[in-house]
Structure 1
Amino acid sequence: MISPLYNKLIDFSATKLSFHMPGHKFGTIADIHKINLSLLDNTEVVGMDNLYEADGIIKQAMELMADFYGAQNTIFLTNGATAGVLASIIALCKDNEKIIVARNCHHSVESALILSGAIPIYINPQYLQESHLLGEITPQDIRTALETYPDAKGVIIVSPTYEGIVSDVQAVADVVHEYEKILIVDEAHGAHFVIGEDFPLSSIHQEADIVINSMHKTLPALTQSALLHICSERVPYSDILSALRMIQTSSPSYMMMGLMDYIRCYILDNKDEIRRHYIDSLIEVRNNLKALKYLKLIELPNKQYDISKIVISTAYTNIDGYKLAEILNDAYNITVEAALSTYIILITTMADNKITLQRVEKALRAIDNSINHCNNKLIEDSFFMQDIAEGISLRKVYYADKEWMIIDQCEGKIITKAIMLYPPGVPMVCIGEVLMREHIKLVYAFKEKLQGIRLIDKNILVQVVKSTKSN
């Protein structure tokens, strides 16, 4: 039987040490590898309830999940956090209504803007010069945006970021609610905050109105398993459910929902063991990694950072992040979550333990001893250095006539296909934005690592709104 994907998946799981999502790390925690998942694959038969009209066993499981996280209501998502982002914005905004959007939000926000017809007001995260990372969204920037655009319906931010940086959500929420708006927090990478006080406080407990978690990213759930938490009376449950019906499958996976329910119970029953085997070992290894000579462990104060993310900077070495990831994979069979020009991201979860964490520490120490210091001139993320700016309707851009053109001819034109570094899927240029000279320089710098462009011969092509001028 010829089954290349299946065979590759089996081989990969048998040979690689995973420091990437999904968080179950090939079923190495909570006896997941022993569970016959096909027994959980069911549908809306008698006694099994219905996610969209839950009044039985699914309702009970979601109420237990809401109590576990501290939300007013929790809804299971089986199309990932993407479904939660889409449903939240569709429920909040009608056509041509404005919403304030952090520029470093996941690209699913763009899809939500196209579907809802909402108009984005872009705000920028802070840029952390020392670590060369995008940082938090500040309350002052939120205030400035709301003062400038008082008709905005609400705000969506991402916290923690892909790299683990957390915003002061409480301070942001105070400003948002002062203006009587709604705050949505994409907390996809923070589902594990509930497992211990060494992790940041969830946005659920910082007065966000809607919080979205991806259980599969940082907890041992199956890919696409996620949660939408409604945390205030400002958001009608029925509006969220109505939107979810449109954008999520009509056959939600009982396998995913059942395993999310199981993992909640497992965490409650095994908090002390998780503390000993994972959290204590993680803290020990992070402390040891501070001794690296040339590679650098990114560190921020606890309230601003999620320590489960091991982010290793190559900024001042003679290798880049791509090369570091390649060495880890080829020489040590360690696969990372993401590699970028100046750093790598390794995702640790409760599926890790002293053995797995020490293995990655040993590998990084060995690599650190084999490389040299280098005074690199780094390219800053200048595409996030624009002021607060109103976008145009992404729905109109999406349906406009488009054409692919050589990028050097496109300065001043409207982009119709987001240009993004992937992973993490954060746009360098958003749909509907005007392409500037600074963008063009960055596209040339990262052309091999971008989605949303075409490389033909030696030319870079981008998609823009087609000119209506006659030739």
Structure 2
Amino acid sequence: MIVNGTTPVWVHPRFDAERHMAHPPEPDDVRRALEQHPDAKGMLLITPTDWGTCADIRGVAAVCHEHDVPLIVDEAWGAHLPFHAGLPTWGMDADADLVVTSVHKMGAAIEQSSVFHLQGNRVDPTVLAQREDLLATTSASSLVYASLDGWRRHMVEQGEALLGRTLDLARRARAEIAAIDGIEVYGDELVREGHAHEVDPFVLTLDVRALGITGYQASEILRDHHHVDLGAADTWRVGARLTHADDDESVDLLVRTLRSLVDDARRAETPPRVDFPSTEGLELETVMLPREAFFAEVEQVSAQQAVGRVAAEMVTPYPPGVPVIAPGERITQDAVDYLRSGVAAGMLIPEAADPQVDTLRVVRDSGA
């Protein structure tokens, strides 16, 4: 996403139609967006994605700097990246101007432990600090700061060895899971032009379509029958992540449980069909600023009546937590069909006013 004045302009991801999976935009995508919007103030890039695919940060940074705008990287899932050469490139090492990291995700700090990394002169540190201060709590937790400091010291002193061991575990896990009939583990085949630039080896993205079940069903089966929780699930996939805290025992448990899933899937109900949109079907048009739409006069209408109206809420399947509809976007039939059929198949949409998506919150028509 680039910001043109106060208006966000979406730089659409690269879409893998075979796997129904979005990858980060490439440098040429960013270049076209900046050329079309010469008043843009900056670029926000999300990498790694929830499924472990990574952008060409260095290439995107070079394009941004050609246009004299900063590159901000949302690297929520990348706390581990600076500490081992065998992992995808850390944003600060790839010339990003600002990197935001959630250390509680792939690091060992406690919940809500996030940090900024800043370099260069394209982002004023004083302005950044003042804007952060507007949103931060006035009752900061010493536990958060202590866990951040403890994690950083742990990684500086032992990170390379710990993460090297985790890389060995990931290679073993991938090989053993790949041998399970009906489960595909994504890997380096995703790395090619138009797809991912790199893949985080710690992210085990498992395609369960061949088992005849959805990722939602797989996640529920593993939780209910085997007491194993996975980090993400969608219509086709489940996701597991390894960290420096894992060991042979936890990998053995994961592999053993996935082998059991093959038999469990034979007894599962046939899942409802999900109406996947076309590649363009989720590229909704932004017709109002998100803030203006969110705070506008609104009404709750049936999902079908919402088609063609301007959304006044975020509608986000979770996990992985990527919005299908954002405030200010014009709602399409494709989006409604996808969300409603997805809910029927097990999709969770916790933050919408109506999690079942029978109705949607839209901007009230001026003539209403």
TM-score (norm 2): 0.89
Rounded Cα–Cα distance in structure 2 between residues aligned with 1:147 and 1:389: 19
What is the aligned counterpart of 2:227 among 333, 353, 359?
333
Change (3 A) 1:430 1:151: same
Q: Deviations over 1:72-109 (max 9, x none)?
A: xxxxxxxxxxxxxxxxx9xxxxxxxx706xxxxxxxxx
The alpha-carbon deviation at position 450 of structure 1 amounts to 2.2
What is the aligned counterpart of 1:461 among 352, 359, 367?
359
Does 2:50 correspond to 1:162? Answer: yes
The alpha-carbon deviation at position 383 of structure 1 amounts to 6.9
Does 2:314 correspond to 1:418? Answer: yes
SS at match of 2:323: strand
Change (3 A) 1:391 1:189: farther
Does 2:65 correspond to 1:177? Answer: yes
Structure 2 match to 1:247 = 135
Structure 1 match to 2:3 = 99
Structure 2 match to 1:409 = 305
The alpha-carbon deviation at position 427 of structure 1 amounts to 0.8
Rounded Cα–Cα distance in structure 1 between residues aligned with 2:349 and 2:278: 16
Does 2:207 correspond to 1:308? Answer: no
User: What are the residue-to-residue correspondences of 1:440-451 with 2, within 5 Å?
Assistant: 440-447=336-343, 448-451=347-350
| Counterpart code for 1:415 | A
The alpha-carbon deviation at position 415 of structure 1 amounts to 0.3
TM-score (norm 1): 0.70
Q: Deviations over 1:408-428 (max 9, x none)?
A: 112211000011111222110
Q: For the Cα contact (< 8 Å) 1:163–1:311, is it kept in 2?
A: yes
SS at match of 1:336: coil
Structure 2 match to 1:114 = none
What is the aligned counterpart of 1:131 among 19, 22, 28?
19
The alpha-carbon deviation at position 231 of structure 1 amounts to 2.1
Question: Which range moved further: 213-222 or 336-345?
Answer: 336-345
Structure 1 match to 2:211 = 317
Q: For the Cα contact (< 8 Å) 2:215–2:233, is it kept in 1?
A: yes
Q: Deviations over 1:349-405 (max 9, x none)?
A: 111111111210111122235546x9x987445476566965532222122100000
Tell me which structure has the larger Cα radius of gyration: 1
Change (3 A) 1:331 1:455: closer
The alpha-carbon deviation at position 164 of structure 1 amounts to 0.7
The alpha-carbon deviation at position 432 of structure 1 amounts to 0.2
How many pairs were matched up?
A: 355
Structure 1 match to 2:289 = 393
Change (3 A) 1:338 1:166: same
Structure 1 match to 2:236 = 342
Rounded Cα–Cα distance in structure 2 between residues aligned with 1:425 and 1:130: 21
Question: Which range moved further: 284-293 or 212-221?
Answer: 284-293
| Counterpart code for 2:337 | K
Structure 1 match to 2:194 = none
Structure 1 match to 2:111 = 223
Q: Which has the higher contact order (CA 8 A, sep 6+)?
A: 1
Rounded Cα–Cα distance in structure 2 between residues aligned with 1:397 and 1:252: 32
Structure 2 match to 1:364 = 258
SS at match of 2:145: helix
Structure 1 match to 2:32 = 144
Structure 2, unaligned runs of 5 or more: 192-196
Change (3 A) 1:217 1:391: farther
Rounded Cα–Cα distance in structure 2 between residues aligned with 1:319 and 1:183: 40
Q: For the Cα contact (< 8 Å) 2:177–2:183, is it kept in 1?
A: no
Does 2:101 correspond to 1:205? Answer: no
RMSD: 2.5
| Counterpart code for 2:226 | Y
- Sequence identity percentage: 24
